[in-house]
Amino acid sequence: MNPIGRRGVLGVGLAALACPALAQSWRATQALRVIVSAAPGGTLDLHARAVQPVLSQKIGQPVIVENQGGAAGRVAAMQMGRMPADGHTMLVSSGDSLVLQDILFGPRQGRARPALRPVTMTVSAAQLLVTHPRSGFATVQEYVTAVRQRGDRITVAMAGHGGVAHVISEMLNRELGLRVTHVPYRGGGPATLDLLAGQVDALVITLPAVTTHVREGRLVALAVSTKERDPAMPEVPSFHDSVAPGFDVPSTQGVLLPAGAPDAAVAVLEAAWRESLADPAVREKLQGLGFVVRATTPAEFDRSLSDSEARFAEVIGAAGIRAEEG
């Protein structure tokens, strides 16, 4: 178990011992809704459904997972802020998308995050630079050389304009003085299909989304965006240890409630998620997909979102990324 996860599980037990009234001051009185801010089959959906049955046992109520895609998670995030703040409806969201959509749309259309209250960061994952076997480059060094030679004739697919994959690619380009042509798709699935068909040269995507394709040899993994190599693919280098020392940009996922949710509900739900993530079967499934289980406190998740916002805003401004309408 990673140190954060171990500390989280111990913290649940200590909190209950120190203040048993807190754990009993709120309890679910009906089925809980978990709104996943993405379409079925993506990494957010896989992660939520892996936890669902154990979470139901911990809460003592049915847990219903509902998918609410649209605008890279913004539709669900904005709606969640207007939900009853009684603890019975939770949002499972990409922390990166939540922050990025606020940066891109917030000045004109309002920000989602102030209307939400973090419960816990559940998992993180590396973003993966991946290509197809016919691309002509088998390592990240060969990719960089090809970009230097061919410039923006190299096409890099990504799930959405202004998403974390787009930002990570721009960060790498700035670091190395590169320029590519970014090709946005409506989701990781269509982008992956075009990469498999050789319609684009490369793709930046959350590692768990293409783990099977890489393991079965249909795609070639070049590098991960986290400083440390990913345990699910330890043979794949990081940008840090190959071409861009210091590069470290993980993707995060987590649980949020409407901002008015009571402290007791947050405490109970945080404990339930921590214990569910510590379940051996759940942990094994998530880690096998390429997730790193985190189970942070609400304050740690909130701080991570703030840090990401500052970092991403600087990159978006420098790269001139603008929100796409419609």
Backbone angles phi, psi at 221, to 5 degrees: -80, 130
Q: Quick check: helix, strand or coil at residue 222?
A: strand
Q: Quick check: helix, strand or coil at residue 303?
A: helix
Backbone angles phi, psi at 32, to 5 degrees: -95, 140
Give the pLDDT score at 296: 97
Classify residue 31 by its DSSP letter: P
For the stretch 138-185, pLDDT in tens is 999 999 999 999 988 999 999 878 888 999 999 999 999 999 999 988
Residue 269 CB contacts under 8 Å (≥ 6 apart), including other chains: 59, 87, 90, 119, 255, 257
Backbone angles phi, psi at 124, to 5 degrees: -130, 165
Closest CA to 254 of 95, 36, 34, 27: 95
Model confidence, pTM: 0.83
Domains of the chain with CATH codes: 3-124+251-319 (3.40.190.150), 127-224 (3.40.190.10)
**Position 181: which residue type?**
T
Give the pLDDT score at 2: 39
Regions in the chain scoring below 50 on pLDDT = 1-23, 326
Q: In whole angstroms, what is the distance from residue 71 CA to residue 75 CA?
A: 6
Q: In whole angstroms, what is the distance from residue 224 CA to residue 230 CA?
A: 7
Answer whether 81's CB lies under 8 Å from 261's CB: no
Give the pLDDT score at 290: 87
For 78, 133, 231, the CA distances from 259, given in Å and listed in that order, are 12, 47, 35
Give the pLDDT score at 151: 87
Q: In whole angstroms, what is the distance from residue 166 CA to residue 8 CA?
A: 32
Give the pLDDT score at 27: 93
**Residue keyed to tokens 């974390």:** 164
Q: In whole angstroms, what is the distance from residue 34 CA to residue 195 CA?
A: 32
